[in-house]
Structures are given as structure tokens and as C-alpha cells.
Amino acid sequence: MTEDSGTDSRLQQTAQRRKQALRESLLSERQALSAGRQRQLNRQLCAHLLRFLTDGDWVNLAAFVAFRGEPDLMPALEVLHQAGRRIHLPEVGEDRSMQFRRWQPGCSMRQNRFGIPEPTEGGYLAAESLDLVLMPLLAFAPGGGRLGMGAGFYDRAFAFRLDNSGRGPALVGTAFSFQQVDSLPLDSWDVPLDGVLTERGFHPFSDSL
């Protein structure tokens, strides 16, 4: 091993340790929110989400079911469905792939291996054909850096954005404002966000939004 490769390896290990420390810290902080405080933040975030989407013509949307303290978007998704927006939820495969399946209020759902509900009926839509994706996260940084749970599902699903940032859907992180950090260690495969939505409103990171 050369001196340069040894240095690179140590830097990579340091970055991964920092990522894991951030995951543990922010996940603990999020799950420590009282039920009342979480309801308040969810109401505020959903109100900003509906206001934000009213200003755009996005039709095919992807969102997520709240897990381990993530923002609960369901009240807003029901309103959006009634307004004619087509909502899709992620379905994860045993091969670590992610697909997006149509969701409607009251549709049949089952838990995946992580315990997250997924639709069992409805058509699939390719990631490239979505208009806007609301993405869960544990931390975000100015400029669009995103830290997820570490499994890499979203980065693999939207890896095509790394070659052409203007291709495919707008990627909007969805989180609480305390999940913002000053900077994040990023890897070459990390797909940046176009913006983030919190209980304080929408914050763009790119000119596309």
C-alpha cells in the first residue's frame, strides 16, 4: 500500500465514522420528540408541502410512509390525491433495488422486511418518469448534501442524476429543521438534493426549483 492510498483509506474511515455518529445522534434526537411536538411539526410541514406543491405543476409524485420518527406526510398526501396528483410509494427489493408503486388512500398495504408499509396493488412508475420525489433523511447540509439511513436505496434509484442533474424528477428532502448540519462527508455515489422541506418552509438548493 502506498502512502497516498493509506491516507485515502484513513480519510474514508474517518468520514464513515462521522456519518455513523451523525445517524445515531440525529435519529436519537428525532425519536426523542414528544408526541405533541411531533404532531405540531408534522402539521406545519404538511401545510408548507401543500403550499409548495400548489405553486408547481408536478403530477407524478413519490413520497414515503413515516418510519422511526420521520415526518408524517399522510394528511397532505390524502389532500394531494383528492386534488388529482398521482402518489407513489417506494417498494424495496431483496436485491436492494427500489421501485415506486401507485398509492391511494385505503389501498392494500403490507410491511416490508424493515417494517415499512408498502402498497400491494397499483401500477409501477419508473424513477425517471416521476416529477418530484419527497425523500426521507437523517441530515441535510446547505448545498444539497443528504445523509440517509445508510442502505443506499435512494442513491441507487436516482444514480442517473449524477450524470445529468437535469434529468428525471426534482429531489426534495423532507425533514425537521434541527436535522440541518453545517456540512456532510459525501461519497461519489451520493445524489444531491434540489431542495429541502421542513416545518419552516421550502429551501431550494438548485435553480431547477
Rounded to the nearest 10 degrees, what angle do helices 74-82 and 35-54 cross at?
A: 30
- Domain 3-204 = CATH 3.40.80.10: no
| % of the chain exceeding 90 in pLDDT | 77
Select the more confidently predicted residue: 195 or 18.
195
Beta-sheet pairing, 139-141 with 195-198: unpaired
Residue 3: band (very low, low, confident or very high) from pLDDT cuts 50, 70, 90: low
Mean pLDDT score of the chain: 92
